[in-house]
Amino acid sequence: MLNYTEKVMDHFRNPRNVGYIKDPDGIGEVGSAACGDVLRLMFKLDEKGRIADVKFQTYGCASAIASASVLTEIIKGKTLEEAENITNLDIVEYLGGLPEHKIHCSVMGREALEAAIENFRKGTTGRKTLEGKVICICFGVTEEKIKRAIRENKLTTVEQVTQLIKAGSACGGCKEEIAEIIASLAEEVKATPEVTPRKGMTNLQKIQLIKEIIEYEIKPELLQHGGNIELIDVNGNQVIVSLQGACKECHVSNITIKNLVEPKLKERVSAELEVVEER
């Protein structure tokens, strides 16, 4: 049994934005049924050039479905320029993590988005085309794709590359060349600063993330001790909650908020958040 997070299972069992858009502005498709994963993503822009609607269709595993579902939530309301800055790591973090050998599913989502944006801008077919030297013939992975994966994810081993983009996972004939690419980028990767996650979240995305952290991470911990918590409102950076059960009667309820609830939300959402109890 794979160690999936609650958020992955939620988006797998209840995927958001599944379906089809008639006359989409952009449509992109990546993957191959022969390889086990296919993803089609389409979007519609509003009069201001923001993504007003986005849908996806996929054939794949729980990670592929959850990654596509989360991606559609992240990009809705963004401009295409903002959406282009989304990396596969943003998808993985939003999901609370993925098993290492399933992280390639987040890459597939990002590539489908890129293909859809290219389809809108250039009138292409919407299929991800190969550009540059092909290193992994089995999966059609180019040198440029391998380099991008290494740079963005700070990869240091062939095994990590294989898990992320499948290159080298079939016949293995390209592993030596992948190792040479890793070595050529080693100093560059080492010098690259860590990227701050969740940049550019909309207010709706921030509220949704707060809801999910309270529901799936904080509430279960309080329930173990006879307590409970409900999100009442989010006013700017102020998060208003209601403590219930044993927590409501506890004379140290403020400690629960300041030592448990607030630190977790500050860490996962924004350091500027303040959590207060409803009065």
240 strand-pairing partners: 233, 276
Decide: 8 and 62 in contact? Cβ < 8 Å: yes
Closest to 70 in 3D by CA, of 3, 2, 5, 15? 15
* Residue 105: active-site member: yes
**CA-based angle 166:182:100, to the nearest 5?**
40
Catalytic residue among 61, 105, 138, 174: 105
Distance CA 189, CA 260 (A): 35
DSSP assignment of 108-127: HHHHHHHHHHHHHHH---SB
* Residue 138: active-site member: no
Please report, to the nearest 10 degrees, the dihedral formed by the alpha carbons of residues 146, 152, 156, 157 taken in order. -40
Closest to 71 in 3D by CA, of 49, 33, 43, 47? 43
| Cβ count near 218 (within 10 Å) | 19
Task: Quote the crossing angle between the two packed helices 158-165 and 104-122, to the nearest 10°.
Answer: 60
List of E strands, the chain: 26-32, 37-45, 51-59, 134-136, 141-142, 227-235, 238-245, 274-277
Residues with catalytic annotation? Answer: 35, 105
